[in-house]
Amino acid sequence: MVNSADFAERLQKILDFYGLSATAFSEEIDFNRSTISHLISGRNKPSLEFVMKVVQKFPEVELYWLLNGKGTFPAENTTSPLPTIKGSEKLAKPEILKKKENLSPQEKGVNPSDIERIVIFYKDGRFKTYEN
């Protein structure tokens, strides 16, 4: 049987190890924030679904350690946590497209007469076809 207070301490160790707040952690494992709060306070015991999501999302967490406190954390075969992307951080979008005038003939790469058809697919299932 899982001791709620001991489980809460192990859950807090996981949050500290990854540098996550309870909210960020709940987003990472796609679980309700209030459930995380109840687990951290020791009010509730973890569900199987919760435990499996934690173990799947965070490979450094050993199942036996999470449930019983026996074993190691982080798992011995890992040295540091995997980087996580927090919701507030925005990734820089690289400039991919250059203006046609700025491209050299080698950069253009394809002779327009070699193109037979261009098909553009949209997320909603529509598509447009342009033929030469």
Write down which residue in 21, 44, 68 finishes a domain: 68
Write down which residue in 22, 46, 68 finishes a domain: 68
Q: Is the pLDDT of residue 110 over 60?
A: yes
The answer to the question of residue 88 being in a domain is no
pLDDT in tens, 27-75: 999 988 999 999 999 898 999 999 999 999 998 899 889 988 888 888 7
The answer to the question of residue 82 being in a domain is no
Nearest to 52 by CA among 72, 78, 30, 19: 30
Asked if residue 62 and residue 12 are part of one domain, the reply reads yes
Taking the C-alpha atoms of residue 50 and residue 11, their distance in angstroms, rounded to an integer, is 11
The answer to the question of residue 42 being in a domain is yes
Pairing of strands 117-121, 127-131: antiparallel
The answer to the question of residue 21 being in a domain is yes
Hey, which bits of the chain come out as E strands? 117-121, 127-131
Split into its structural domains, the chain has a count of 2
Which stretch of DSSP H or E encloses residue 123? none
Chain CA centroid to CA 39, Å: 22
The answer to the question of residue 86 being in a domain is no
pLDDT in tens, 80-95: 555 555 554 555 555 5
The answer to the question of residue 13 being in a domain is yes
Nearest to 46 by CA among 18, 74, 14: 14
The answer to the question of residue 64 being in a domain is yes
Residue 15, domain extent: 4-68
Asked if residue 52 and residue 8 are part of one domain, the reply reads yes
Write down which residue in 51, 68, 85 finishes a domain: 68
Neighbouring CB atoms inside 10 A of 40's CB total 17
Number of helices and strands in the chain (H, E): 6, 2
